[in-house]
Amino acid sequence: MSFSPSSVVASPEAYTKALLHCYKYPAQPVMGMLVGKRLNDDAGAAAQSTGSPNSTHPSLGAASGASSSVCYVSDAVPLFHTLPMTAPHPMLEVAYAHVQYASKTTGQSLLGVYIANERLMDSCISPVTKTMLEALQARMPSNTKLLVWFVSNEYLTSPPMGLAITCLTVDRCSCNKAISLPSQASVDELMTFGRWNSDTLAPEATISEEGVMESVSNALDAFAHYRITDLEDHLEDPSITYLEQPLMALMTRK
């Protein structure tokens, strides 16, 4: 299954958590994974794994007869912040196994990754990162493209002044071409936000950019970026949980 970034709906929590990870390590290369649902996944598992309130807004597709090119990113799992991740690498294997298992237990799937470069003005995919993306793409289901959220460090302001992520698929990531800034992204690279409707078993693009930026701003005001943890933190202290970090818990934890 192939989908374009424009057919991807992201939850505010996934977007906010990905950025919190980058805000915590603004001068280091950051990487995490994205999990969620594809509309051709098992509909029953979708209903069990999502508990969003019912909505009267029109959805992007119902489980029966919906375009299989629509997917919903429900969560972001923070992984690395020390070195640019490449493949093969034992820690990438650990991360993949952890995230894949955790997502399947909730009826979801690994959809993609989010990445941020170390340097402020660097908007290119490095050869090292490209190798990692291709290795993950090789593990995706047939005809499915790995989703890539590229975080623009220039837009990591507090409070946020605009969207900070350009949405791509792995086949559109080139080492020889800079990724478009979010404000200059094409229609196919724009972010769309919403919730999962458990009645229609489909995502609904019901949340505005302003609403998502408010989510990020509120999380920063609550110092949630200092509380979010990743796989590297877990390796240093196994008592730290990084797979399940509800945004509200990050904002209220003492």
What global pTM score does this model have? Answer: 0.86
Q: What residue ranges do the domains of the chain occupy?
A: 5-252
Identify the CA nearest to 185 among candidates 201, 166, 172. Answer: 166
Q: How confident is the model at residue 3, as a pLDDT?
A: 55
49, pLDDT greater than 50: no
* Helical (H) or strand (E) element with 169: strand 165-169
CB-CB contact of 242 with 77 (8 Å): yes
The mean pLDDT of the chain is 87
Q: How confident is the model at residue 5, as a pLDDT?
A: 56
CB-CB contact of 107 with 150 (8 Å): no
**Distance, C-alpha 149 to centroid of its chain:** 6
C-beta atoms surrounding 204 within 10 Å: 21
**5-252 fold:** Cytidine Deaminase; domain 2 (3.40.140)
Comparison of pLDDT for 102 and 83, the residue scoring more:
102
pLDDT digits (tens, 9 = 90+) for 152-192: 999 999 999 999 999 999 999 989 899 999 999 888 888 89
47, pLDDT greater than 80: no
Place of tokens 């993950």: 136
pLDDT digits (tens, 9 = 90+) for 19-45: 999 999 999 999 999 999 988 654 434
Question: What mean pLDDT comes out for the span 51-78?
Answer: 59
